Amino acid sequence: MQQNQRIEVQTIQDELLKTAKIWPRGISFTSNFSSLVYLVDPAGTRSTSDTFHNLYSKDIAQGETSGQ
């Protein structure tokens, strides 16, 4: 999904849902089996908090997940 300068990508394989967000701030990513969200930007890699859309939801606007 692309929204302005943000691109979200989601993939699922063997019940593992991986989500990434590519945007001007950097790249954020997580999976459904991880409680952490990682951000990679010019300062390096660190854990953070972020909100991702559930792209497999029928209503993507309502399908947000917080880090999962």
Domain ranges of the chain: 2-59
CB distance 27 to 37 below 8 Å: no
Instruction: Say how far apart CA 11 and CA 5 lie, in whole Å.
Output: 20
* Tens digits of residue pLDDT in 3-56: 899 999 999 888 889 999 999 989 999 998 888 999 999 999 999 988 887 787
Residue 68 has pLDDT above 60, yes or no: no
Per-residue confidence (pLDDT) for residue 64, from 0 to 100: 52
Per-residue confidence (pLDDT) for residue 46, from 0 to 100: 95
